[in-house]
Structure 1
């Protein structure tokens, strides 16, 4: 359906307008903070608005099947480039997730000391780019937002980062830029091929789905998309930029990287790469299985060896993302729905842990495990939330990660039992390093006396909000899974 209110365009441009206004008020940190939070809250309300619409809809001429909100406007007609946006159940969940995580990032940035207005405006600009990517149905537009995400993130790491921010920024840029070039070449090749076959040159994703791609060429084009998305994911062995970027980025930057930017890569695989090249994707499925399982196990093992909590969580994050890759590779309704659910749960749980490590770092000015111990007896409220989110990350039943990882394992086991067993081994390793982290931080013996402050009202509100979502998705994931059902039926049958 089309709406009298251009909801999809507003979802993209509202944060961008907010970014400009916050930047204009950058001289007043207090005004910039509250204005950024107001725009973040407005975006979240707008993102949730489609939940009240009739998402079944009826078929309309020119509207791709399965999209209950759709906008199509001419842009660069000479080259077949249009401003085409669409929303189905998958993109709806991703849009809501983006709005929610951005609110958490804004509140987590409340005490940024230097150039806070600019910092918050970059967060809102990044949100607008991510929303645009999740809504794009034109491959040129998708690529534009894919590249646009890079700009605010580079500034967030390079200007407000710690450790070696310039090194991490350059490394992040080089990896993602190379991957982006490969994707661009594949998009142009597909564009030219479709035009030669139909005499209609277009970047419209629904039209490109009907392009006949020779098998050998399809392998190369799918490989280009796969490699580009694998870098941003990141998948083993293309991950070496990730620990540095995650550790050196400020708290909100790490939150956006881990919770959202990695999800854009997984979304690209599901929405674009696998439906466009079904034969090529099936041929390379064993490779993705191997890479995903190696990543789950290897990164869990490396996480166990870390003393820096943020670096430990960085490796833990990419290990958990291996379940997403595994579910996508299986390309079955159960496995892919589990992968999508894992994308949501990973964003919430890992994001919460990065926020909590930021809180501990702010209090002690250290992330080293050796500088902690006995936290449970000093700040029980903070310790309680730290325990909850670690339990969720470890896959404890009743919390969110358990549901999605179980669905992925069940779906993958039906088609690739060996891969499922390998991933299960990785989940056992996850439990080991999580227990070690909780033991040393909460119940271990501290090496030197430290004074910790209990969570403030601002911090507590964020932690309660995240904990409620963790528990809700753990005990009642049905509504989210239902949103994935209809779009997956269409994607898997293409």
Structure 2
């Protein structure tokens, strides 16, 4: 029997959450160190998986399969491919950084440190389980369950309007989840009625194999409805315009560390679900709805960038940039080209890193000054040069400056889009100019110029904050000049996905030469 690496991967943070919750109230510091240690253990496990993973081997590796509810055809089935591995590593890298970033958040608010840390670890464990589940029902359970600890992180440890933001977050996502539940049940019923299976099943691999082989034939209208059920839930979680309304409020009212956990880690499960479940379970429906989804993605790209330009709140500005970036990710998924989907997966990683850096640095600045208003700042680079410099690097990464990680992923998405939808690629590329406006203008107003009143005594980054920011900046630089290790893991999984859904890359368009 092989070692259950994937079970240990998700169980360690869940058990760690319980251990932290049991820590006595007076032992806050000990609880912090326990939580950090648990998150570092998860990081070590993720690195071990990455080292042992063979990109040229089986599609799903470290597979575990056990009976769960035989009467429902569902099992405890885990496995990991290159796309899931990339997101597992992103999650494992970010969570210890976020624990350090929010080291004093709960205590400064006079709230339970143990609860805050336990909820953070619980979100990590549930996200990891969602990424490695190969049973549709198992995935759904954790896809929905992660909303609960995130709701309490927003509502229990956020700003003045945290309760309203938390309820809005929960209602939007629960509604999407309920629609998906109907689709999950419908999918099970269809498998039970099909001759391709021995009764109903939730086994993702079996269903995809039957769909790919043409053995699982369902009425196209029903398939379209099932696709919409899955896609709606993922579009809310991601979020895709116009289902984004919950994100700015939740991001602003949560603590910076919790907001990053939500935007950079949890929301990636939505785009991951599109790539794995929507495309592979319902390839024909995905192709049918492709023009509509691409249109919404491009609208989201431009909308998020334009609205970000007009923001007066720096945290809300960064939240709207994420809406624009999620548009790029979804665009890359649904153009269904190898460059687009590889770029989209890499974009999930790079967005997580760049947004974490920008949001956390902005959070450090806001905690010093006590306001999120952009016009309250000015001249920060003169009194806190390290803070201003790292903010600039993170901002330049957000606008996809060449040499920084997001450039490669955005370039691949645009190339992949242009080969199939050149007009959409042109509109999406306009965000490059818009992003330069909102980032550089914000930097100029906040960091440049004379030092404004009440900014003279702003402290520069302290050692704990440098420990948070330094690895993020380093990753942006390394992945910006050498993304090959990530793409080597991602590309085989993308190729398998496109082969499964029978979507080869478009043939190059050859210009007609003069007749001879």
> Which category of TM-score, normalised to the shorter sequence, fits these structures?
over 0.9
| Closer/same/farther in 2, CA of residues 372 and 165 from structure 1, 3 Å limit | same
1:352 maps to 2:350: no
1:376 maps to 2:381: yes
Q: Do the aligned partners of 1:83 and 1:141 also contact (CA within 8 Å) in 2?
A: yes
1:289 maps to 2:288: no
The whole-number CA distance in structure 2 between the counterparts of 1:105 and 1:206 is 34
Structure 1 counterpart of 2:458, from 452, 456, 464:
452
Q: Do the aligned partners of 2:78 and 2:135 also contact (CA within 8 Å) in 1?
A: yes
| Closer/same/farther in 2, CA of residues 424 and 56 from structure 1, 3 Å limit | closer
After the TM superposition, which of the residue ranges 406-415 and 451-460 deviates more from structure 2? 451-460
**Cα deviation digits, residues 439-477 of structure 1 (max 9, x gap):** 011103444232111111111011111011000110000
- 1:69 corresponds in structure 2 to 62
Alignment of 1:119-130 (within 5 A): 119-130=116-127
- 1:317 corresponds in structure 2 to 322
Structure 1 counterpart of 2:100, from 85, 103, 107:
107
The whole-number CA distance in structure 1 between the counterparts of 2:366 and 2:53 is 46
**1:132 Cα deviation from its structure 2 partner:** 0.1
Gaps of 5+ in 2: 211-215, 501-516
| DSSP 3-state at the match of 1:493 | helix
| DSSP 3-state at the match of 2:202 | coil
| DSSP 3-state at the match of 2:59 | coil
Q: Please, what is the CA RMSD of the aligned residues?
A: 1.2
After the TM superposition, which of the residue ranges 20-29 and 49-58 deviates more from structure 2? 49-58
- 2:155 corresponds in structure 1 to 158
| DSSP 3-state at the match of 1:38 | helix
TM-score (structure 1 length as normaliser): 0.96
Q: Do the aligned partners of 2:35 and 2:118 also contact (CA within 8 Å) in 1?
A: yes
The whole-number CA distance in structure 2 between the counterparts of 1:78 and 1:118 is 37
**Cα deviation digits, residues 36-78 of structure 1 (max 9, x gap):** 11001110000110222251576xxxxxx51121000111112
Structure 2 counterpart of 1:19, from 17, 28, 42:
17
- 1:62 corresponds in structure 2 to none
The whole-number CA distance in structure 2 between the counterparts of 1:264 and 1:335 is 18
- 2:220 corresponds in structure 1 to 215
TM-score (structure 2 length as normaliser): 0.92
The whole-number CA distance in structure 1 between the counterparts of 2:48 and 2:73 is 31
The whole-number CA distance in structure 2 between the counterparts of 1:301 and 1:195 is 48
| DSSP 3-state at the match of 2:267 | helix
**Cα deviation digits, residues 411-453 of structure 1 (max 9, x gap):** 1000000110010012211111111111011103444232111
| Closer/same/farther in 2, CA of residues 353 and 57 from structure 1, 3 Å limit | closer
**1:79 Cα deviation from its structure 2 partner:** 1.1
Structure 1 counterpart of 2:133, from 136, 139, 148:
136
Q: Do the aligned partners of 2:76 and 2:138 also contact (CA within 8 Å) in 1?
A: yes
The whole-number CA distance in structure 1 between the counterparts of 2:67 and 2:132 is 16
- 1:47 corresponds in structure 2 to 46
Q: Do the aligned partners of 2:55 and 2:492 also contact (CA within 8 Å) in 1?
A: no
Count, aligned residues: 486
Q: Do the aligned partners of 1:19 and 1:125 also contact (CA within 8 Å) in 2?
A: yes
Structure 2 counterpart of 1:461, from 436, 442, 467:
467
Structure 2 counterpart of 1:490, from 496, 501, 504:
496
**1:288 Cα deviation from its structure 2 partner:** 1.1
Gaps of 5+ in 1: 59-64
Structure 2 counterpart of 1:243, from 236, 242, 248:
248
| DSSP 3-state at the match of 1:236 | coil
